[in-house]
Amino acid sequence: MICKASETNMTYAPYANTCPITGWTGTTMTVSPTTDEADGTTYSVTFPSEAGTVYGGTIDIAQGKLIVNKGIYIADGTTNVYQVSQHSSGIYYTIVTNTIHGNVTNPPVLSDRFISNSNIATGHCYLTQNGTIIIAILPDQSLTTVAKVTQWFTEHPTTFVYDLEEPIEYQFAPI
What is the pTM for the complete model shown? 0.77
Of 77 and 6, which is predicted with more confidence?
77
Check whether 12 has a pLDDT greater than 70. Answer: no
Which residues, 6 or more positions from 12, have their beta carbon under 8 angstroms from its beta carbon?
18, 115
Helix ranges (H only) for the chain are 146-155
Taking residues 93-101, report their average pLDDT.
80
Encoded amino acid at 1, one letter: M
Q: How many CA atoms lie within 13 A of 154 on its CB side?
A: 10
Number of C-beta neighbours around residue 71 at 10 A: 19
- Among 14-18, 40-44, 117-121, where is mean pLDDT lowest? 14-18
Task: Tell me how far apart the alpha carbons of residues 3 and 33 are, in angstroms, rounded to a whole number.
Answer: 30
- How do residues 147-172 score in pLDDT, each as one tens digit? 888 888 888 888 888 888 899 999 99
- How do residues 49-69 score in pLDDT, each as one tens digit? 999 999 989 999 889 999 999
In the structure, what pLDDT confidence band is assigned to residue 19 with cuts at 50, 70 and 90? low
Cα–Cα distances in angstroms (integers) from residue 76 to residues 25, 92, 105, 128, 168, in the given order: 22, 19, 27, 21, 25
In the structure, what pLDDT confidence band is assigned to residue 5 with cuts at 50, 70 and 90? very low
Taking residues 124-137, report their average pLDDT.
79
Cα–Cα distances in angstroms (integers) from residue 5 to residues 11, 41, 55, 71, in the given order: 10, 29, 18, 22
* Per-residue pLDDT, 158: 87
Check whether 9 has a pLDDT greater than 50. Answer: no
CB 93 within 8 A of CB 136: yes
Of 40 and 67, which is predicted with more confidence?
67
CB 155 within 8 A of CB 164: no
Taking residues 19-42, report their average pLDDT.
77
Check whether 79 has a pLDDT greater than 90. Answer: no
